[in-house]
Amino acid sequence: MDHDAVVRQKMTERYLLNELDSDARDRFEEHYFDCPECAQDVRMGALFVEQTKSVLAEQREVAMAPAAPQPAIPRSSGLSALFRPAVAIPVFALLLAIVAYQNLVTYPQLHQAANHPQVLPWTAVNVGTYGANTPTITTSRGKGFLLFVRIPPEAGFSSYSAELVNPAGKVEWSLTIAVIASQDQYPVAVPGADRTSGTYILVVRGTTTTGQQKDLGRTSFDLQIQN
């Protein structure tokens, strides 16, 4: 399929609106798989449809408010309404604002974090026979930290599972750790989150090759959040 013909016949819009017959749809799909420009148009159109669902829902609620009886008008599909100027203009403005924020703020911050070395707060925590000391980690709000988890080696386990319990007694996350022979310390990177200061508990269990679990112990640490 020729690219100029695709543009001239508005194939991308008709594809998103499901207005193509099966033969034209197959030929267009073969084309955009090999055409970066059309593939980008399809991705952006699909994103546009997804972002505008909530906006259309709000507008439908307003439109359903009681009004004077009107002559019956054939209804077009909800997807077709996306491309009407009265709907598309404010929605496109919202979409452009989201894209601009991502390009100017979110993506640069992620790129900087991914490409610059960092020294993360860390501490070593002991499970089982290693002791029951309660170390302290001080970090900034929303930032992650490292835990070097010491687990007493015991034969028969193929993996460990660890659960982090917050001060409110809720499990924040769980992690599976593959057992490494002759190793008793495992580094765990705890992702950033909106946490509160307090005592956190790490519960560790061992899992055998047959799937049976055994509690190996628990350890705790105090987390101090700096605003």
- 52: pLDDT strictly greater than 70: no
The more confidently predicted of residues 81 and 135 is 135
Confidence of residue 22 (pLDDT cuts 50, 70, 90): confident
Pick the more confident residue, 143 or 83.
143
Alpha-carbon gap, residue 189 to 204, rounded angstroms: 16
Return the half-sphere exposure (C-beta side, CA atoms, 13 A cut-off) of residue 5.
7
| Lowest model confidence (mean pLDDT) among 24-33, 97-106, 172-181 | 97-106
- If you count them, how many residues does the chain have? 227
- What's the pLDDT at 20? 80
Domains of the chain with bracketed CATH: 3-66+74-115 (no CATH), 122-226 (2.60.40.10)
d(CA 117, CA 112): 9
pTM of the model: 0.51
CA distance 99 to 38: 19
Over residues 72-92, mean pLDDT: 53
Angle subtended at Cα 191 by Cα 186 and Cα 196, rounded to the nearest 5 degrees: 110
